[in-house]
Amino acid sequence: MLTGNTYLSSDRQVFILNKISFLQKLIKYKNMKIHSTYMGLKLDSPIVVSACTLSEKTDNIVKMEDNGAGAVVLFSLFEEQIRKEEARLKFVMSKTTNSFAEALDYFPDLEDFNVGIDEYLENIRKAKDRVKIPIIGSLNGITNEGWIDYSKLMEQAGADGIEVNIFFIPGEIHMSTAEVEHRYLNIIDNIRQSVKIPVAVKLNPYFSAMGNMSLRMKKAGADALVLFNRFYQPDFDINELVIKTDLYYSESSEIRLPLLWIALLYGKINLSLAATTGVQSAVEVIKYILAGADVVMTASSLYKNGIPYLKTMNKELQDWMYMMGFDDIDSFKGNMSQQKISDPTAYQRANYIKILEGAK
Amino acid sequence: MSSNKKIISTIDGNEAAAYVAYRVNEVCAIYPITPSSTMSELCDEWATKRIKNIWGSVPEVMEMQSEAGAAGTVHGALQTGSLTTTFTSSQGLMLMLPNMYKIAGELTPAVFHVAARSLAAQGLSIFGDHQDVMAARTTGFALLSSASVQEAHDFALIAQVATLKSRIPIVHFFDGFRTSHEVNKLEMLSDEQIKSMVPDELVIAHRGRGLNPDHPFIRGTAQNPDVYFQGRETVNSFYNNMPGIVEEVMNDFSTMTGRKYELFQYTGAADAEQIVIIMGSGGETVVETVEALNAAREKTGVIQVRLYRPFSLDHLIKAIPTSVKSIAILDRTKESGAAGEPMYQDVLATLVEAMQQGKLDHLPKLIGGRYGLSSKEFTPAMVKAVFDELKKDKPKNNFTIGINDDVTFTSLEYDPSYKLDESEWRQGLFFGLGADGTVGANKNTIKIIGENTDLYAQGYFVYDSKKSGARTVSHLRFGPKPIRAPYLITKADFIACHQFNFIEKVQMLEFAKEGATFLINSPYNKDEVWDKLTGQAQKIIIDRKLKVFVIDATTVARETGMSGRINTIMQTCYFALSGVLPREDAIKQIKKAIEKTYFKKGQKVIDQNFKAVDATLANMYEVNYPANSSAADHDLLTVPNKAPEFVKNVTAVMMADHGDELPVSMMPIDGTYPSGTTQWEKRNVSDLVPLWEPDLCIQCGNCAYVCPHSVIRAKFYHKDYLKNAPQDFKSAPINSRGFPETQYSLQVYLEDCTGCNLCVEVCPATDPANRSRKAINLVDKEPILKTEKKNIEFFEDITWNDRSKIDFSTVHGAQFLEPLFEFSGACAGCGETPYLKLLSQLFGDRLLVANATGCSSIYGGNLPTTPWSVNKEGRGPAWSNSLFEDNAEFGLGMRITADKQLNIAKQYLLELKGELGEEFVNEILDAKQILESELAEQQKRVQLLKEKLKTITSSAAIHLLSVADQFVRRSVWLVGGDGWAYDIGYGGLDHALASGRNIKILVLDTEVYSNTGGQMSKSTPTAATAKFAAGGKSGGKKDLAMQAISYGNVYVARVAFGANPQQTLLAMREAEAYDGPAIILAYSHCIAHGYDLKNGLDQQQKAVASGHWPLLRYNPVLRKKNQNPFVLDSARPTISLKDYAYNELRYKVLTITNPESAVELMKHAQDLVNLKWKTYEELATKKASDFVPVG
């Protein structure tokens, strides 16, 4: 602190002191670090764009970087979509080729066409050419071969990491818990064997022993967990008697389940944790980091407010940190996790009871 | 200098020729026509891939609106100094003739590559003969004929060099299909070789003769009697020099490659006494036969004509051995009324001239004959018959060979059992379905063996003329020497039946050699399959000691993850069993080929295919069969006895693949065939067929409306009818109120169904208790076939409902109209045929159809059976096809006749007023004929009139009787696709519309040339890919509706039956009722769009919902009533264009091949859609006075 200068009037002294204090604060604000590390990747911001269609355009990715995204998880490559395209191609080829003397085929040279994957890899290459922030490929597979082949190709195309989105509903009721868990672990193991870049696993919360499962995933080779995938949940149209397939954006109220698990896992497992779902503003970002997230992912806030909203969120995060006196992310990361709070049972049954009590 | 480095390839004749043509030209102006389309397509594809010619530039490839346009563009490009080519066939060459005279008259070097094809005469034919090139022999173009795939390749270069040296343009031709589509092993020319043959100075000289404002001149003057004649004679020396030049080029070529060609190439005994002179692929057959005959101590020879124009006397005389006593000149063409066919006359004139000049000491006997029209088989047995004829004292002149002419007795008899020694060849025959990949796999087999072993290979593929459920037969030969056998296999070492149900339909084992191998894909195992074979098949197997193998390829394919495709499985069986290669080598080769094919797809796909190969070998079993046949003979001719005599005697023979045996006397003399013959050909294409559920059905009629093959029909009737109904006949009370005693039945003609699923897709009625059950569902045919056949028989006996009592202004009502277009050979799920069926239902009994060449003329008029049918009264659509380019004019002519004959009829009617009664005459003349009941009344009056006229003997009565039918209003429809309406026939169509005459035009708009394989038309939308627009179409789609609207007096509608069937129905009825020209643009989903057509209706809805295909009607009648004539029938777009477009491969392809361009083009396309919609919306809100008044 500066000490008073005796030959200045007290008013003047106060004025100067205030000014110095403002400048100091400004310097501090400017120097405030919101850096984060996510599965070994150094990020300038903990706010990461989650897999969504916005990243289909390289121009958008550039905009995301310009507005302060820490990293971008590319839109998901759906293996079944590629397979479907391939099957469609095959179908069209087989139905239309060599069956009528005047038209032995209907399309120019289809043999050489590669469906889907090439376009995706090209997106990775283009993004890597134009931005410095990490680009994480997102893979939604269905077969072992798909997971292995496509993750390898993503690595070769320059992806900094891979997020494997295991979107699997065990609708086959004879499938046991162990089988379901084995399937997850097997996928992670296979990918781990085939690539060197870090691998994040985006998963759903419906495991009997989520904590233990997380440990096993770590053992199988995961570098990060992304909590949580939102399952496709259908609705019915009762007039048409059909399944409604409309999608809706996540709400901020949906953060509670991931928040719970991040808070529970933080500090107990040597894995990066990414939070996703329900991030509408810096408020959810802060909450997730307080729970222990290394990064917080959002897409719906950008759909609603546009890509420049990333800048707003970063600023609001910084404002809050400044207000709270935190110099960097690490100084508050996990502060509200189960490990760090005074009453760890608040995260378990006691908390539940308290809520019920409160509802009376 | 001969090159040591040989490039071996196994390709077809089209590719062989186009490969060179592309490399030695700078401009290709093209237009698709079978069988030459592939040449154009390849050039376009190579240009898209930026492959360069021998001078390092990528040729400009430009699709034109017709062959006439292509020839004009060629002419212009040549006149400005570009090396320019084109590719065509048949009618296409006819359209080029005017320009060809100009090009030749101006001594312009150019080569036109022609896959020679029949001309449309009594009927159209896409197959090969020399009628087209013979029609071009007067143009001044030289005619150079290649006889094989190798020659098609070599002569493309020889022609190019010769034309540059001689300045005489050349038609280089080879036999359509037989050579253009035959796959054979050949030695390819390298770019260096090609370059070494084409002197740069000649190219530069050609450029130097081009029009250039820097040193201008005028070419193409109009000349008067004083100088035209002399000018015409100036070219003589060039023609005189031409044979020598071609000979020189051939010699140079021979020095370079070792392949020797001569203008008139003689093969045979030096002391031959009988020779044949022939041109084209048939020459190969004669060469082989001559060698065989001479080996049997005959003295025969053959002259293969390479350069037919200019016809060189000296070279021909030199080629004929002096020992020759008789010569047969074989022409693959027909010139009715001539003293002989063209080449016969040329040879005759040449020999007489040679005699007169003392160059020949005796005149051999000369006879001319025709063979091989429309790819008719020309075999060694036929060649032998010709040589036998030549030995006679008085051999038959103007003979035919290969047919039985029992009318004018031109034909020579031949012994079909005569065969050449085929022991060096391994010959395989494969019977497959169009969609099962058999042909593709066989093409692949030829490549594998041809390019990886020392064996020579040949493949030829025969397709039937149906677009759904088509049968294919692949003919494969392998041998140690080049295979010169341009005819089908009739004695095979290996026969494969890829579809088990063919066993009952085709007598394929007739072609089996003694001891041959027979492979069956069968759901029955080795112990069961024998009993499933027909008696005939069992007898041949036993008698000829065949080795029989069985595999359940469908199951193996499914279990090895081959998506149910049997082609790789059956191909592996062939490799393992055929003995072409030792078994282990064969398997090694097929695996090597798999690795090569799927290299890019990754190890997993390769492993999956390997697994399929191994599983094939493990699941293929030899069948041990008994010494005696156990099954009864199976009747292959299944036309019922009640069929008309013509159908039984002629149509059924063609259906059974025995059309070759029909004699001339059985043929209609002028191409006239009976209507409605598809009903006799129960093709049983699909194993899955619709089954009606009366309890759920709401009787909406949608299924019957959309069915492309008229397989679903509805009738209502009094419930008493059901007393005699078969037990399982389905019926439901009609759901219209006030008819308690009326029943409704929906009958599926399941043997004619193609299983397209459109009926199920469109059905709105679903079982609330079981959401997967609709009022119509696809089920297995086999279990219901027997009962349903009985039901159909009963249903047929129920009288069709009286059309004057049906309200068919609704889709519901339209289902009760009898379709007079049924069971066509169109693709399963075709988007065109529902319109034609509706047309036939609405106006069929007074309908005249002028049909442009294209899909609709093929499924509408290709023998053996045709779908345009007749009703019980014997009335029905009268249908004809003229050409591709002239259909509007053709239909206008029909209208003019109708109008003219009506006037003649009126004139005579008034003349006979006294005899016929004034009141009756006035009733006929004043009859309103708008409502169906009014039309029915008029039909009755005309019937009565005709009866009265028969009793009157005056000339007026006789004349009136011949035209009285015209008193019933004729409905004249001009039908065709967008290729016709937007491109080649547009000029005529525009003129027909402008004529103001009462013609109706139905454009079945698939937005692409469907019939010839998906080439771009001016209807092809922006951002879609098509052949000739492989990079995505960047230009806009022509708005033909707006062009027609600009006339003011034309009724115009744009419809899509899948999006709004009611609007389609309304538009058709309004158009027909309008007393003036009308045009309906009908969205037709198509196999060329690239998706499963069961989603066709959904895509139609999306086409409309996206604004790509706004529904509209422009009705001049409203304008007359001072109302806005422009009615928009669809709502503002609710989805984006890409939500519609990217469901289709034609758009999607570009996102894969060129994603950036796809994005850009899609954006552009969306902008165009927005703009179009805005314009339409503005028009829809205008006042009547804003539109052209109707006079």
B557-595, pLDDT tens digit by residue?
A: 888 877 668 988 999 999 999 989 999 999 999 998 888
Query: What are the structure tokens assigned to B1064, written together?
Result: 């389609």
**Best residue in A98, A148, A239, A240 for a mutation probing chain B (most B CBs within 10 Å):** A98
Residues B618-628, mean pLDDT to the nearest whole number:
95
Quote the tokens at residue B1162.
Answer: 């899609």
Distance between CA atoms of residues B249 and B243, nearest Å: 10
Cβ distance A99 to B472 less than 8 Å, yes or no, reads yes
Distance CA B219, CA B230 (A): 16
The more confident residue out of B649 and A338 is B649
Which of B689, B744, B743 is CA-nearest to residue B713?
Answer: B744
Residue with tokens 């911001």: A45
Confidence of residue A13 (pLDDT cuts 50, 70, 90): low
Half-sphere exposure of B1129 (CA within 13 A, CB side): 24
For B982-1000, what is each residue's pLDDT tens digit? Answer: 999 999 999 999 999 999 9
Token look-up 């070769």 returns A156
Selection from B677, B698, B676, B803 nearest residue B746 by Cα: B698
Place of tokens 């239909």: B891
For A3, other C-beta atoms within 10 Å of its C-beta total 6
Active-site pick, B73, B442, B1011, B1020: B1011
Please name which of B1102, B1073, B36 lies closest in space to residue B1083, comparing C-alpha atoms.
Answer: B1102
Residue B3: which pLDDT band, with cuts at 50, 70 and 90?
Answer: very low
- Cα distance between residue B400 and residue B417, in whole Å: 19
Task: Identify the pLDDT of residue A358.
Answer: 55
Flag whether pLDDT at B2 surpasses 70.
Answer: no
Other CB atoms within 10 Å distance of the CB of residue B93:
29
CB-based contact B329:B292 (threshold 8 Å): no
Identify which of B139, B198, B147 has the alpha carbon closest to the alpha carbon of residue B21. B198
* Residues β-bridged to residue B1011: none
- Rounded percentage of chain B residues whose pLDDT exceeds 70: 99
> How many other β-carbons are positioned within 10 Å of the β-carbon of residue B703?
27
* Beta carbons of A122 and B1155 less than 8 Å apart: yes
Contact A108 B1146 (CB under 8 A): no
* pLDDT given for residue A349 in this prediction: 57
Nearest to A102 among B48, B126, B1145 (CB): B126
Q: Which residues pair with A236 in a beta bridge?
A: A243
CA B272 to chain centre: 43
> Between A169 and B1112, whose confidence is greater?
B1112
Q: Given B34, B472, B678, B998, which residue is catalytic? A: B34
H or E element in which residue B16 lies: helix B13-23
* pLDDT tens-digit readout, B768-805: 899 889 999 999 999 999 999 999 999 999 999 999 88
Q: Which of B125, B178, B433, B463 to mutate to test the interface with A (most CBs of A within 10 A)?
A: B463
Chain B (222-281) residues lying within 8 Å, Cβ to Cβ, of chain A = none
Highest mean pLDDT among B87-91, B734-738, B1088-1092: B87-91
Beta strands in B424-482 (DSSP E): 426-433, 456-463, 471-479
**Quick check: B1142 and B1159 in contact, CB under 8 A?**
no
Q: Which two tokens stand for residue B723?
A: 């007393």
**How deeply is B672 buried, as exposed, middle or buried, from its count of CB atoms within 10 A (0-12, 13-18, 19+)?**
exposed
Q: Give the pLDDT of residue B1179.
A: 97
Identify whether B1025 is a catalytic site residue: no
Contact B269, B299 (CB under 8 A): yes
Q: Is the distance from CB of B39 to CB of B14 less than 8 angstroms?
A: yes
DSSP string, A249-267: PPPGGGGHHHHHHHHHHTT
β-bridge partners, B11: B184
Answer for the pair B275, B302: CB distance below 8 angstroms, yes or no. yes
As beta bridge partners, residue A243 has A236
> Given an 8 Å threshold on Cβ–Cβ distance, is B1014 in contact with A103?
yes
- pLDDT score, position B922: 97
Residue B1001: φ, ψ to 5°: -115, 125
Tokens of B66: 């017709």
Between chain A and chain B, the number of residue pairs with CB atoms below 8 A apart is: 113
**What radius of gyration, in Å, describes the C-alpha atoms of chain B?**
32
Does residue B1027 carry a pLDDT above 70? yes
Q: Which of B33, B773, B1152 to mutate to test the interface with A (most CBs of A within 10 A)?
A: B1152
**Angle value at C-alpha B388, between B382 and B393, nearest 5 degrees:** 140
B1151 is catalytic: no
Q: Which two tokens stand for residue B236?
A: 């003589």
Q: Quick check: B636 pLDDT over 70?
A: no
Say how far apart CA B152 and CA B111 lie, in whole Å. 13
What mean pLDDT value characterizes chain A? 84
Strands B847-851 and B878-880: parallel
User: Is A107's CB within 8 Å of B1145's CB?
Assistant: yes
Distance CA A222, CA B985 (A): 66
Q: How far is CA B1003 from CA B827, B850, B948, in A?
A: 18, 12, 41
Does position A357 have pLDDT exceeding 70, yes or no? no
Q: Which tokens hold the place of A244? A: 């409604």
Q: Is B1025 on the interface with A (CB under 8 A)?
A: yes
Instruction: Report residue B474 as tokens.
Output: 């692949």
**Angle, to 10 degrees, between the axis of helix B1145-1153 and the axis of helix A79-96?**
120
Answer yes or no: do A101 and B602 touch at CB < 8 A.
Answer: no
| Mean pLDDT calculated for residue range B871-899 | 97
Interface of A with B (CB under 8 A): 85, 87-92, 94-110, 113-116, 118-119, 122, 145, 149, 241
What's residue A1's pLDDT? 34
Question: How far is B1014 from B38, CA to CA, in rounded Å?
Answer: 11
pLDDT category, B1, cuts 50, 70, 90? very low
| Cβ of residue B461 closer than 8 Å to a chain A Cβ | yes
Q: CA neighbours within 13 Å on the CB side: how many for B105?
A: 17
| pLDDT tens digits, B1066-1086 | 999 999 999 999 999 999 999
Instruction: Provide the token pair at B589.
Output: 């080769």
Q: How confident is the model at residue A6 (pLDDT cuts 50, 70, 90)?
A: very low
Tell me, what's the pLDDT at A10?
64
pLDDT at A20: 64
Does the beta-carbon distance from A101 to B34 stay under 8 Å? yes
- Across A34-38, A96-100, B730-734, least confident range: A96-100
Tell me the per-residue pLDDT of B420-434, one tens digit each, with 9 for 90 and over. Answer: 999 999 999 999 998
B155-194 residues touching A, CB cutoff 8 A = 177, 181
The amino acid sitting at B34 is T
Distances (CA, A) of B562 to A197, B472, B577, B719, B887: 34, 21, 21, 52, 45
- From residue B111, give the alpha-carbon distance in Å to each of B86, B87, B483, B863: 7, 9, 28, 35
C-alpha distances out from residue A355 to A341, A346, B197, Å: 18, 10, 93
Q: From the CA of A16, how many Å to the nearest CA of chain B?
A: 59
DSSP letters, B172-190, are EEEETTTTTS-EEEEEEPP
| ipTM field | 0.88
* DSSP states of B132-149: HHHHTTTSS-EEEE--SH
Residue B994: which H helix or E strand, with range?
helix B986-994
Which residues, other chains included, contact B297 with Cβ-Cβ below 8 Å and sequence gap of 6+? none
B813: nearest Cα among B1062, B1075, B600, B524: B1062
Residue B1047 has pLDDT above 70, yes or no: yes
Q: What is the pLDDT of residues B201-241, one digit of tens each?
A: 999 999 999 999 999 999 999 999 999 999 999 999 999 99
pLDDT of residue B564: 67
Q: Catalytic residue at B67? A: yes
Contact B406, B664 (CB under 8 A): yes
CA angle B1034, B1035, B1038 (to 5 degrees): 145
User: Crossing angle, helix B438-452 and helix B583-597, to 10 degrees?
Assistant: 110
Terminal CA-to-CA distance of chain A, rounded, Å?
Answer: 52
Q: How many CB atoms lie within 10 A of CB A269?
A: 16
CA distance A24 to chain B (A): 50
User: Can you tell me the mean pLDDT for B995-1024?
Assistant: 97
Lowest mean pLDDT: which of B192-206, B229-243, B552-566, B1017-1031? B552-566
* CA-wise closest residue to A185 among A166, A172, A198: A166
pLDDT category of residue A5 using cuts at 50, 70 and 90:
very low
The Cα–Cα gap between B12 and B668 comes to: 35
B875 is catalytic: no
CA A79-A81-A86 angle, to 5 degrees, is: 95
Region A31-36: what's the mean pLDDT? 84
Element (H, E) at B251: helix B236-257
What pLDDT score was predicted for residue B289?
A: 98
B1151 contacts on A by Cβ (under 8 Å): 119
Q: What letter does residue B1015 receive in the DSSP assignment?
A: B
Contacts A145 to B, Cβ<8 Å: 602, 604
**Tokens 């009747």, residue located:** B635
Look at strands B742-748 and B170-175 and give their pairing: unpaired
pTM: 0.88
Task: Kindly state the tokens that stand for B347.
Answer: 């040879």
